[in-house]
Amino acid sequence: MIRTVSLSVAITGLYLSTIIPAGAVLTFTPLGDLPGGGTNSAAYGVSADGMVVVGSSASAAGVSPFKWTDGGGLIALPILPGGTSATAYAVSSDGQVMVGGSDSTAGPQACVWSNGMAIGLGDLAGGAFASVAYDVSEQGSVIVGYGTSASGREAFRWTGGAMSGLGDLAGGNFQSEAKAVTPDGSLITGYGTVSGQNIFTWDAVNNLQDYYSSAVAYDVSSDGNQLVGHINSTFVIPEIVTINYRRAARWNGGSVTVLGPESTGQSFDSLFYGVTPDGSIAVGSFKGSSSGPYYAVSHDTYNGVRNLLDVLTAAGIDMTGWTLNAATGISADGSVIVGYGTNPNGQQEAWVIRGYGLNLTLRWIGNTYHWPGNEALTAADDLWMNVDSKDPNVGVTGVVVYSTDKGMTWTNAPLTEGTPGPDYDHWYRNLGSFPAGTTIRYSLAVEDAEGNQLWDNNSGKDYYAVVSPGYTGVVEWIGNDGANGTIPHTTTNIALDIQPVFSVTGIDATGTHIMASDLKPNHAYAVEMGSNFTDWTPVSSITPTASNDTLFVTNTMNPSLVRLATDGQSTYVQITREVWPQDSGKTARLGYRFNGGDWQVADMGYAGQVGNNDVWSTRVGPVESGTTVEYFIEVISAAGGGVSHYDNNDNNNYSYTVP
């Protein structure tokens, strides 16, 4: 069986597949600037659904916080009384509560914006008045940041109208900041001070805990297990140079993975600002050379570190003149990233990317097997199909396609995702039991979220499960027996028509991909659908421009049969072979070419029995008079997992010239 990524069967069959929508289109949107002042804006946070972006912008008043939506554009948020500037850093999941910092009469003050109003959160008691809010929980009920207490700068947690200091780690100068909170508000992270900056975590049970030394965390996954930020590094040449710099890092259960570049004397710098709730994608900023600018990046275990500008350019987006300096926030599903960069006019400008993601594509499918195996499989057993795919969590659906009548009819059955292996996903399906002597010819496919499909069809041979006492041995003989009335090849004038002898069940798609080989190019065909071999309904027409076009039609009904038909007449070459013993050949294929051209492959259909032999047949064309067809036959048995047996005229191939 010949298959393509559109799950098609060539030659005499039409194969229908479920259509899965392709991924969202990648877009880049500069957010502009508020009226007044010079152009200078930056986006720092995005709601979980990606609909609301917050940040700051130069304005006539100074530096103003903003809220941006696709429909409403850039809208200035109010500044606390007595203040001239403010910045919004984060927004709740539904986009209704925004937090940050604002100048005020009292001094720099943590601030929350809701219902069009700015509300100051005050400060911790005892110190010079200065506070700022960096993050907010999913529902807006928990806000974190830092204030100034009698001890100094101190991380705070605000909830229920009250601000509480979280303290600091033991040792060193007193200084701590809360940078992020989990969506449910239960865990907070940031940094405290021991001999230097150390990551802390806080929850109501364990209070402040020293998590990792010489590092800062800026965001945390929803379960609290994954943190992102940077470690503090130093490059030293004694008595010559000391370079202190940051290296972007991720933590999982306390174990660190450092991803930022390591300096060998250059002024490198890198950090991650945000991560999706499931921890799959982190975003941040890298500076990979002493003179080069910062560039916005994402990281995931599948793609590694990606320069966002490169991703956009590769997608065909014109980014001429742009430098994307930092990615500061990401939506819950990873599809929306916000940040800031330098626009073609040399000005800092906020931006939003939509349609982003892991771009996961299946890389491999294999380890296909059925259970029980041949010889052990009986009519009393359920038949289980199994296949693995890579990478983990990339495949979203799977299918087994099988036939019990030598490929004349086919059935689709969805696969179920099973227990994954260490680096692969596992898929399975219980097809139930089959009568004694049945051969189940099958192939399996797994599909990713973008609709890309990988088949395991045993290198085109398909797999064979044989119910005892079915034949699992080799093919002993391939040929033609004149006494039985079969001849190797003949010419016939027939309608340019694929007869309705190939059916597929279990179809629920709204569209159908068709690969129909050996059609006459530039000839109109009617697409007809029906539920039986008698009643057909024309639904569309197609005109292939080449003999191997992949065509698409939209279903107007839920058919079990599809055919193409036309009133034209043309000449075809019919090629037939007998195989013995009966049931030894599970599949037959024809390799052929016209007038010494390129080799092609065609499935041969089972045509019944003659004497003690099975008969396989196919037709190729249309052909003109005088065309020479060179060909050989391949018959595949179930022995050894699918052994090929050839009839190639003692390595000379067969030849036939059309009268």
Residue 240: the pLDDT is 82
Mean of the per-residue pLDDT values for the chain? 87
Last residue of one domain, picked from the residues 466, 487, 511: 466
Asked if residue 599 is part of any domain, the answer here is yes
Give the integer Cα–Cα distance in Å for 353 and 336.
Answer: 6
Question: In this structure, are 482 and 595 located in the same domain?
Answer: yes
How far, CA to CA in Å, does 542 sit from each of 17, 272, 516, 563? 18, 52, 11, 12
Q: Is the per-residue pLDDT at 2 higher than 60?
A: no
Structural domain that includes position 641: 475-496+569-659
Which residues, 6 or more positions from 449, have their beta carbon under 8 angstroms from its beta carbon? 20, 23, 360, 394, 396
pTM of the predicted model as reported, rounded to 2 decimal places: 0.65
Give the integer Cα–Cα distance in Å for 469 and 167.
Answer: 76
Asked if residue 15 is part of any domain, the answer here is no
Asked if residue 430 is part of any domain, the answer here is yes
Question: In this structure, are 582 and 636 located in the same domain?
Answer: yes
Question: In this structure, are 444 and 486 located in the same domain?
Answer: no
Give the integer Cα–Cα distance in Å for 366 and 386.
Answer: 9
Last residue of one domain, picked from the residues 445, 466, 487: 466
Look at 180 and 359; give whichever has higher pLDDT.
180
Which range, of 42-46, 151-155, 239-243, 613-617, averages the lowest pLDDT?
239-243
Question: In this structure, are 486 and 592 located in the same domain?
Answer: yes
List the CATH number of the domain containing 432. Answer: 2.60.40.10
Question: In this structure, are 484 and 611 located in the same domain?
Answer: yes
Residue 499: the pLDDT is 35
Give the position of tokens 């940051």: 246
* Half-sphere exposure in the Cβ direction for 514 (13 Å, CA): 32
Asked if residue 429 is part of any domain, the answer here is yes
Confidence of residue 155 (pLDDT cuts 50, 70, 90): very high
Look at 495 and 392; give whichever has higher pLDDT.
392
Domain count, the chain: 2
Question: In this structure, are 382 and 411 located in the same domain?
Answer: yes
DSSP 23: P
Question: In this structure, are 480 and 382 located in the same domain?
Answer: no
Give the integer Cα–Cα distance in Å for 198 and 134.
Answer: 18
Confidence of residue 399 (pLDDT cuts 50, 70, 90): very high
Question: In this structure, are 379 and 488 located in the same domain?
Answer: no
Q: Which residues pair with 324 in a beta bridge?
A: 341
**What mean pLDDT do residues 169-180 have?**
95
Residue-wise pLDDT tens digits, 201-258: 999 999 999 999 999 999 999 999 999 999 999 998 888 888 899 999 999 999 999 9
Confidence of residue 552 (pLDDT cuts 50, 70, 90): low
Asked if residue 447 is part of any domain, the answer here is yes
Asked if residue 334 is part of any domain, the answer here is no
Residue 229: the pLDDT is 98
Give the integer Cα–Cα distance in Å for 329 and 50.
Answer: 10
Residue 5: the pLDDT is 23
Last residue of one domain, picked from the residues 466, 485, 520: 466
Percent of the chain with pLDDT over 70: 87
Residue 555: the pLDDT is 53
| Strand ranges inside 372-487, DSSP E | 384-390, 395-403, 409-414, 416-417, 425-430, 439-448, 453-456, 463-466, 477-479
Q: Is the per-residue pLDDT at 261 higher than 70?
A: yes
Asked if residue 593 is part of any domain, the answer here is yes
**What mean pLDDT do residues 294-299 have?**
97
Which residues, 6 or more positions from 76, have their beta carbon under 8 angstroms from its beta carbon? 34, 57, 59, 61, 64, 65, 66
Give the integer Cα–Cα distance in Å for 419 and 362.
Answer: 18
Tokens coding 375: 């010889």
Question: In this structure, are 614 and 648 located in the same domain?
Answer: yes
Residue-wise pLDDT tens digits, 65-114: 999 999 999 999 999 999 999 999 999 999 999 999 999 999 999 999 99
Q: Is the per-residue pLDDT at 289 higher than 70?
A: yes
Give the integer Cα–Cα distance in Å for 103 and 130.
Answer: 9
- Give the number of other CB atoms < 10 A from CB of residue 442: 27
Percent of the chain with pLDDT over 90: 71
Asked if residue 211 is part of any domain, the answer here is no
Residue 543: the pLDDT is 75
Residue-wise pLDDT tens digits, 564-600: 666 556 688 899 999 999 999 999 999 999 999 999 9
Residue 567: the pLDDT is 55
Residue-wise pLDDT tens digits, 339-391: 999 999 999 999 999 999 877 788 899 999 999 999 999 999 999 999 999 98
Question: In this structure, are 434 and 487 located in the same domain?
Answer: no
DSSP 404: S
DSSP 309: H
Which residues, 6 or more positions from 146, have their beta carbon under 8 angstroms from its beta carbon? 131, 132, 134, 153, 154, 155, 156, 176, 177, 178, 190
Residue 549: the pLDDT is 54
Give the integer Cα–Cα distance in Å for 232 and 216.
Answer: 8
Question: In this structure, are 582 and 439 located in the same domain?
Answer: no
Q: Is the per-residue pLDDT at 429 higher than 50?
A: yes
Question: In this structure, are 486 and 590 located in the same domain?
Answer: yes
Q: Is the per-residue pLDDT at 528 higher than 90?
A: no
Closest C-alpha among 309, 299, 241 to residue 270: 299
Which range, of 450-464, 482-496, 628-642, averages the lowest pLDDT?
482-496
Residue 306: the pLDDT is 96
Give the integer Cα–Cα distance in Å for 376 and 382.
Answer: 12
How far, CA to CA in Å, does 632 sit from each of 12, 236, 355, 593? 18, 72, 49, 10
